Amino acid sequence: MGVAAILTDLRPPRRLVLPFSCGTLLLLCMGTIYSFGVLGVRIKSRLELTEPEITAIQTAGLLGMYFGVTSGLFFDRFGPRLTCLVSAAIASGCYLVTYASLAGTFWAPTDTPYELLVALFFGIGQASHGFYTAAMAVNLRWLPFHIRAKATGVLAACVGLSSGIFTLIYEAFNEANSYYIFVAGAYTFVGIIGAIFLKFPPSSGDGAAAAHSSTSAGTTEIAMTPPKRQRSSRRSAKYARLQEEEEADEDDDDEDHDDAQAEKEEAAAAAADDDEGQNAPSVDEESHKQLAQLAQTDPNLDITGKRLLLNSNFWILFFVMAMQDGAGAMFINKLGSIIATEPDCGCNKSTLTVAFAIANACGRIFWGSVADAYRRVLSPVLVLLLTVAGMGGAMVFVAAFPAQLALASIIVALCFGGLMALGPVIVGELFGFKHFGTNWGMTVLSPAAGTILFSIMYSQIYVSQIADPTQTNCYGVACFRLSFILAALACAVATVVCYWLHRRTYANPACVIATGSRSGAMH
C-alpha cells in the first residue's frame, strides 16, 4: 500500500461527525501553549527576564499540560461537559491576567514577578490538558478499531496546527498585548461548544454505539462496528456446521470423510467468492468478536491507579515518551534562541514555527495512518520506535549542521508528531479505555519529566557558554551543540527500550491487548 493510499479516506463514519468535530475544535484551541517559542521573546524583553526565568515559564506551561492526572481524574469523575467548562474558565482567566501584567494594568511590567507568570502558564497548561482529555477520551470510545490510530492522528494533528495558527494570529496582532484577550475569548467560546455537544456514546444501540461488557475485574468498553450482513452470517453459519459435521464423522470411512471434506471446501469456496468485496467480514469485526470473548477473563483490559503504577510496561513506555518528548520540546521551545545564536541559518522564527507546526500535524496524521494500514506487520509500538529513532537522527543532524536548522526542524516535527498520535492508542490498548482519562494523565507525566530534564540541561549549557557574565544572551554553535548531542544519545537508548516494550507486549503471543486479538496473530 502506497503513501497516497494510506492518507486517503480520513473521513469518519457519519455517527462520529459531531464528537469528532467538537474534538477537532477543542484541540485546535488548546495548542496555544506550543507557540510560546514566539511569545516568549516578547515576554522576555517586555518584563526584562533572564534566560533561566523565561525557561522556567516555558517549562511551567508544558508541565501544566503534561501533568494530566488532575484533569484525568476530574474527567473520569465529572465527564466531558464540566471538564470543558472548567478548563475554559481557567485558561481564559490566566490569559487575562497575563494581558494585565504585560500592559501594566496593575503595576509596571518590569515589576511583574516571574513566579506569577510561572503560575499562570501552569494553569493554562492544565486547562489545555483538560481540553485534550475530553476530546481524546470521548472520541476513542466512539472510534472503531480499524481507523483508531488514523483518526487519533488527525485529532492530534489539530494540536500541532494550533501553534502555527495562533502564531500567525499573533503576527496579525503585530505582537500587541490585545492578542491575549483574543485567546481568552477563543477558549471561552470553544469550551462552551464542547460542553454542549461533546458526550459519550450510548451504552447500547444498533452497533453504532459502544458496547459495555461487564467483567469480574471491571467494565471494559468495546467500540463496536456495524453488524454483519445477514447473508454473510448465514454463509458463516453454514461453514461452521460443515466443520462440526466433519469433526463428528472423523471415524467414518474414508469415502464419507472425503465427501464431507469436498462439500466443506465447495461451500467455503462459494462463501469466499460471494463475500469477496463489500460482503467480506472485516478484520475489525473479527477483532471485536475475539475481544468480547477475552474481556470476560482478562483483567488487563482495565488497568488503572495503583495497578498501573505497578505495571512494568507502564514504566517502560514512560521512559520512551520522556526521552522523545523531552528532546522535541527542547527543540521547539528554544527555536527562538537557537536562531538568535546561529544567524547563518537564515531562518525567521515565525516562519519556522509555522513550518514546524504544519510538519508536526502531517507527522501525526502520517504515523497514525501507517499504524492502521500496516497493523498486521507493524505494531503501534514499532511505529513509535521509528519516530524515536528519527528524532535521535535529527538531533545529530542539527548538532553537526546548524546552518540546516530549517531541514532539521521538519524532521523533528514529523517524528515529534508520531508520539502524540500513537501514545493514546498504545495506552488504551495496553491498559484499557474505561479509565483512559486517568491513565493518560499519568502517562503524560513522562513528557513533563523529559521536558524539565532537557530544559534544565539546555539552560545550564547555554549559560555556561556566555563569555560575558554581565550579558544574558549567548552566541555561537557551542550554545546548543552539546545539548543536542546528549538528546541524540537519550533517543538512541529510548529506541532500544521501545523495541523491548514491543517484545513484551505486541510480539508476545501470551499477551492479550485491547486490539481484539492476540498480538502474536499480527506477525
pLDDT digits (tens, 9 = 90+) for 100-114: 988 888 888 888 888
Close Cβ partners of 507 (under 8 Å, ≥ 6 residues apart)? 379, 519, 520, 523
pLDDT at residue 451 above 70?
yes
Shortest CA distance to 158 belongs to which of 357, 388, 432? 357
Amino acid at site 392: G
Which pLDDT score is estimated for 290?
Answer: 43
Q: Which residues are CB-contacts of 217 (< 8 A; sequence separation ≥ 6)?
A: 298, 299, 301, 302
Best CA proximity match to 221, nearest among 311, 135, 142, 132: 142
For residue 382, name the pLDDT band (cuts at 50, 70, 90).
Answer: very high
Low-confidence winner among 29-33, 235-239, 389-393 (lowest mean pLDDT): 235-239
Q: State the amino acid at position 451 in one-letter form.
A: T
CA atoms within 13 A on the CB side of 173: 17
Confidence at residue 13, expressed as pLDDT on a 0 to 100 scale: 58
Q: Do residues 380 and 387 touch, judged by C-beta distance below 8 A?
A: no
CB hemisphere CA count around 163 (13 angstroms)? 31
pLDDT digits (tens, 9 = 90+) for 483-502: 889 999 999 999 999 999 99
pLDDT band at 88 (very low <50, low <70, confident <90, very high): very high
Give the type of residue at 133. Answer: T
Mean pLDDT of 451-459: 83
Close Cβ partners of 516 (under 8 Å, ≥ 6 residues apart): 145, 222, 284, 286, 287, 288, 289, 290, 291
Spatial CA neighbour of 79 closest among 436, 515, 457, 458: 436
* Residues linked to residue 210 through DSSP beta bridges, in sequence order: 223
Give the model confidence (pLDDT) of 403-425 as tens digits: 788 888 889 989 988 888 898 88
Give yes or no for a contact between 109 and 46, defined as CB atoms under 8 angstroms apart.
yes
Task: Pick the more confident residue, 367 or 405.
Answer: 367
CA distance 121 to 186: 16
Give CA–CA dist 51/460, Å, rounded: 10
Better pLDDT: 466 or 147? 147
> Which residue's entry shows cell 521512559?
319
pLDDT of res. 223: 35
Q: pLDDT-based confidence at 401, cuts 50/70/90? A: confident
Weakest mean pLDDT among 47-51, 229-233, 427-431 = 229-233
Backbone φ and ψ for 50, nearest 5 degrees, come out as -90, 170
Alpha helices in 2-68 (DSSP H): 3-6, 17-30, 36-47, 51-66
Decide which of 260 and 164 is more confident: 164
Q: How confident is the model at residue 366 (pLDDT cuts 50, 70, 90)?
A: very high
Q: At what angle do helices 312-333 and 36-47 cross, to 10 degrees?
A: 60
SS3 (DSSP) at 283: helix
Lowest mean pLDDT among 244-253, 420-429, 507-516: 244-253
Average pLDDT over residues 350-367: 83
Written as nine digits, the cell of 228 is 454483519
Average pLDDT over residues 11-20: 72
Cell for 386?
Answer: 521509528
> Which grid cell is 238?
453454514
* Average pLDDT score, the chain: 75
149-165 b/e (C-beta count within 10 Å ≥ 16 → b): bbbbbbbbbbbbbbbbb
Q: What is the pLDDT of residues 271-294, one digit of tens each?
A: 544 444 444 444 444 444 444 333
Average of per-residue pLDDT across 199-227: 43
User: What are 200's three cell numbers?
Assistant: 459519550
Three cell numbers, residue 27 = 484541540
Residue 47 has pLDDT above 60, yes or no: yes
pLDDT score for 298: 43
Q: How far apart are CA 479 and CA 465, in angstroms?
A: 6
- Domain boundaries of the chain, sorted by first residue: 3-206+298-522
Q: What is the 3-state secondary structure (H, E, C) of 235-295?
A: HHHHHHHHHHHHHHCCCCCHHHHHHHHHHHHHHHHHHHHHHCCCCCCCHHHHHHHHHHHHC
pLDDT of residue 317: 95
Which region among 12-16, 119-123, 321-325, 453-457 has the lowest average model confidence (pLDDT)?
12-16
Task: Write the DSSP assignment of 284-337 as a string of letters.
Answer: HHHHHHHHHHHTTT-GGGS--THHHHT-HHHHHHHHHHHHHHHHHHHHHHTHHH
Q: Determine the average pLDDT of the residues in 223-252.
A: 47
User: Which pLDDT score, from 0 to 100, does residue 522 have?
Assistant: 36
More confident position, 236 or 461:
461
- The CATH code of the domain at 3-206+298-522 is 1.20.1250.20
Tell me what pLDDT residue 156 has: 85
Residue 149 neighbours by CB under 8 Å, 6+ apart: 368, 369, 371, 372, 375, 380, 421, 422, 425
Which has more confidence, 29 or 466? 29
The mean pLDDT value for 42-67 works out to 82
Rounded mean pLDDT, 117-146: 88
Instruction: Output the pLDDT for position 515.
Output: 47
pLDDT at 192: 95
Residue 335 CB neighbours (<10 A): 22
- The top-scoring range by mean pLDDT among 34-43, 86-95, 276-285, 414-423 is 86-95
Q: What is the pLDDT of residue 514?
A: 53
pTM of the model: 0.66
- Residue 34 reports pLDDT greater than 50: yes
CB 6, CB 369: distance < 8 Å: yes
pLDDT, position 120: 93
Q: How far apart are CA 276 and CA 45, in angstroms?
A: 66
CA dihedral 102, 107, 111, 115 (to 10 degrees): -70
